[in-house]
Structure 1
Amino acid sequence: MKNPVSDKISKIKPSGIRKFFDIVNTMDDAISLGVGEPDFETPWRIRDEAIYSLEQGRTFYTSNAGLMDLKIALSDYLDRKYDLHYDPKTEMMMTVGGSEAIDIGLRAMLDPGDEVIIPQPSYVSYEPCTILANGVPVIINLKESDEFRLTARELENAITPKTKVLILPFPNNPTGAIMEREDLEAIAEVIREHDIYVMTDEIYSELTYQTDHVSIASLPGMKERTVYINGFSKAFAMTGWRLGYACAPAPILKQMLKIHQFAIMCAPTTSQYAGIEAVKHCDREVEDMKMQYNERRIYVLERLRDMGLSCFEPYGAFYVFPSIKSTGMSSDEFATALLNTEKVAVVPGTAFGDCGEGFIRISYAYSMENLKIALNRIEKFIKSLAK
């Protein structure tokens, strides 16, 4: 018989995040700090609007690109929040989470052999989505000494005549790193000079703790060469609603929409109506969640440092990325032993790229109660290694 499975797909590794998540679900009294999902319920006013839309019988397909009322509300939201100006008719579309937008954006832009620069550590989908789109991933290994920021020099050194797209994943999962305006201005200069494009994934844009988030698409000459990705999962605690969006120059968005039409049809209708309420009226709820995340961030960082684990201070998202090199264990060994002995799940840094070796990702998108219990167990584990 012929092999029924694609060689290309077979060679793609499964997500390193899900491995530990699946194991912890089979263990009694285990605590997971591994999944990047807010522990907050979706704000009630968003849920109430979704219920109302169902009561009104709004259960049909929307247009492929999404509800116009939602895109108009999003356009206003991006304008007031990030100084971004997009035409709801031609430059915006709703997707099934930000992940779909990443996938179809790369498929719409890449021809076979085009190179995509991916800074790592970073979200697990970028590299496989590049391969699925017949692109060639080119990895830049970010450094803790640079606070895991991408530098203009690193970008310049990675560009070749085949480079088509830079993926810019900030605020960053898994490190919590951010890029400030000066960092982005230096990157933008290189991008314009070499005539390449950017896919900027800003799903954590609402969650920065020291400075306001800046989008590279807002800088001079960058909107026309940027695909902007965002969504409702993190800021609005709407992971299960599967609602994301993409903003891009009309010629690119037109091709993205074509793929979306054939593969998806439209984002969930109920989620779209809920999304209108989110971007219009939920600034306060988002700010309240952000304040609690910041309290947890400070607590987790202090506890890890008190245990003797080196950890740079993350200023975005809801992750810390401590070094476990002092233990002499690999990332996978550490995470496996911690789960087996103390029933705490974290994610090995290598799930986010080879340069994540020697680190683990801890999510603080969990209650303070669970964080305290989990960190007590981690401290006990660390002390046991010194015996």
Structure 2
Amino acid sequence: MNSDSRPSPDLPEGLHPDTLAVRVTVPRSQYGEHSEALYLSSCFVQPDSETSAHRFANPSEGYTYTRTGNPTVTAFERRLAALEGAESAIATASGMSAILLLGLGLLKSGDHVICSQSMFGSTMKMFGTDFAKFGVETTFVSQTNAAAWQAAVRPNTRLLFAETPTNPLTEVCDIAALAAIAHSAGALLAVDNCFATPILQRPLQLGADLVIHSGTKFLDGQGRVMAGAICGSSKYVDQIFAPLIRSAGMVLSPFNAWVVTKGLETLSLRVKAQSANALQLAKWLEQHPAIDRVFYPGLPSHPQHELAMAQQSGIGGAIIAFSVRGNSPEQARARAFHVIDSARICSIATNLGDVKTLISHPASTSHGRLSEEQRQAAGVVQGLIRLAVGLEHVPDIQADLARGLDTCASVA
């Protein structure tokens, strides 16, 4: 982030997040553009050698090369930081590159990490396998059992990493409780806020130190580009992660930054509307005879319903998981595939946060690289289906799902 690109310095204090999502940006150029400019330039011309030398030595004081800073990327970082209530944010090429940057910046050989056993499969692999190559050990514990997180703490524990709600079972952890555990151990708490977004949940206000985003999901909202980010205090974002990303090069492209910046302008409207659709669908799914169980934080049947409502502004979010009945894992998988393949409106894809409803089979996609033991521990059974609800007419989505579900219900 560049200090010479202060975000809308004329904006008053205390603005609502809906206003921040539209108005926080970098100063306009001399042309006075109303929409944020897209700076498609790999480098920036310097006025003289002395200024060039100064800016290369002090990257926060001017743009030199897009790997070390770009006005369009800064606009996205400033806007997302404002939404999360963070001092600073740094953009990355994807959500997973944000997690990689987190690990490279904070961890070293001999360090210990505690993670939920119910997270996104690629996140679990990165902590459990990839970081392990460099001497970092990770303990996976129950997402919802704070005592298990506490019991896993060691003298060398440096980081607690949580995803809430989790992908795909929407399990919710108590952010404030985990923050207290982390801080008492001299560790940090990082929270993946991809499912809830800052519209529903602001982890930093609950005690978390860092927030991770896959901007590919709800922040963009149209399924167009890849993006990621880390939000937090300047101590970590600007002093640890920024110098590292300038060397490593896992930066967000200006075009993708521009797309996601514009996506933030409609984030509140989309998330609230998609969540309302999801609640309506979850209630309907819970009554269907072909379904064994529905996982959705907005339902009273969800084990962490009260916590979710308190942490997520009383809104359940836009992701539903449900398991199809089957007499064996093989039958449950076949029926889940039948429901998915019968869809004509829902897209068979593994992204989420799109305005188009997406349907997927986690055991063979997002969690396909995990062992069966890991999948079972995470509750990712063969009959599980994940539905990322979009903005279509709800009865149309119901009919699309009923096409396959009704067949399953009619067969013993």
In structure 1, the residue matched to 2:87 is: 86
Deviation at 1:305, TM superposition (A): 3.0
Gaps of 5+ in 1: 1-48, 143-149
| Corresponding position: 1:102 with 2:99 | yes
Larger Rg: 2
2:162–2:192 CA contact under 8 A, matched in 1: yes
| Corresponding position: 1:244 with 2:194 | no
347, 350, 361: which one aligns with 1:347 = 361
* 3-state SS in 1 of match to 2:211: strand
Change (3 A) 1:372 1:60: farther
* 3-state SS in 1 of match to 2:191: strand
37, 40, 45: which one aligns with 1:58 = 40
In structure 2, the residue matched to 1:257 is: 242
* Aligned mates of 1:71, 1:116 — CA distance in 2: 30
* 3-state SS in 2 of match to 1:94: strand
Cα deviations by residue, 1:204-263 (Å, 9 ceiling, x for unpaired) = 23387xxx4231x2245x5xxx23212432223154322221124445444433443344
Change (3 A) 1:155 1:249: same
In structure 2, the residue matched to 1:328 is: 327
1:207–1:290 CA contact under 8 A, matched in 2: no
Change (3 A) 1:303 1:124: same
Deviation at 1:132, TM superposition (A): 1.5
| Corresponding position: 1:196 with 2:179 | no
* Aligned mates of 1:178, 1:251 — CA distance in 2: 28
Q: Which has the higher contact order (CA 8 A, sep 6+)?
A: 1
* Aligned mates of 1:53, 1:203 — CA distance in 2: 26
In structure 1, the residue matched to 2:201 is: 213
122, 142, 164: which one aligns with 1:170 = 164
Change (3 A) 1:133 1:251: farther
Gaps of 5+ in 2: 1-32, 44-64, 299-315, 343-347, 349-359
Moved over 6 A (4+): none
| Corresponding position: 1:338 with 2:336 | yes
1:1-387 superposed matches below 5 A: 58-60=40-42, 63-64=66-67, 66-68=69-71, 70-71=73-74, 74-75=77-78, 78-79=81-82, 81-82=83-84, 84-87=85-88, 92-130=89-127, 131-134=129-132, 135-142=136-143, 150-179=144-173, 183-206=174-197, 212-215=200-203, 217-219=204-206, 222=208, 226-235=209-218, 236-250=220-234, 252-253=236-237, 254-264=239-249, 266-279=251-264, 282-283=265-266, 286-288=268-270, 290-307=272-289, 308-315=291-298, 316-324=316-324, 327-330=326-329, 334-339=332-337, 343-344=341-342, 346-348=360-362, 351=367, 353-355=375-377, 356-358=379-381, 360-366=384-390, 367=392, 368=394, 369-384=396-411, 386=412
* Aligned mates of 1:252, 1:288 — CA distance in 2: 31
2:93–2:228 CA contact under 8 A, matched in 1: yes
Counterpart residue identity of residue 241, structure 1: V
Change (3 A) 1:371 1:122: farther
Give the number of equivalent residue pairs: 307
What's the Cα RMSD here? 3.5
1:115–1:162 CA contact under 8 A, matched in 2: yes
Change (3 A) 1:136 1:255: same
Cα deviations by residue, 1:47-94 (Å, 9 ceiling, x for unpaired) = xx9x9956xx73435633543565466445544x44x2314xxxx311
2:294–2:321 CA contact under 8 A, matched in 1: yes
2:94–2:216 CA contact under 8 A, matched in 1: yes
Deviation at 1:95, TM superposition (A): 0.5
Change (3 A) 1:200 1:133: same
Cα deviations by residue, 1:85-136 (Å, 9 ceiling, x for unpaired) = 314xxxx311112221011211222223422212132111222212322322
Deviation at 1:363, TM superposition (A): 1.3
2:149–2:178 CA contact under 8 A, matched in 1: yes
* Aligned mates of 2:154, 2:331 — CA distance in 1: 37
Deviation at 1:164, TM superposition (A): 2.0
1:96–1:267 CA contact under 8 A, matched in 2: yes
Deviation at 1:166, TM superposition (A): 1.1
Counterpart residue identity of residue 218, structure 1: Q
1:319–1:361 CA contact under 8 A, matched in 2: no
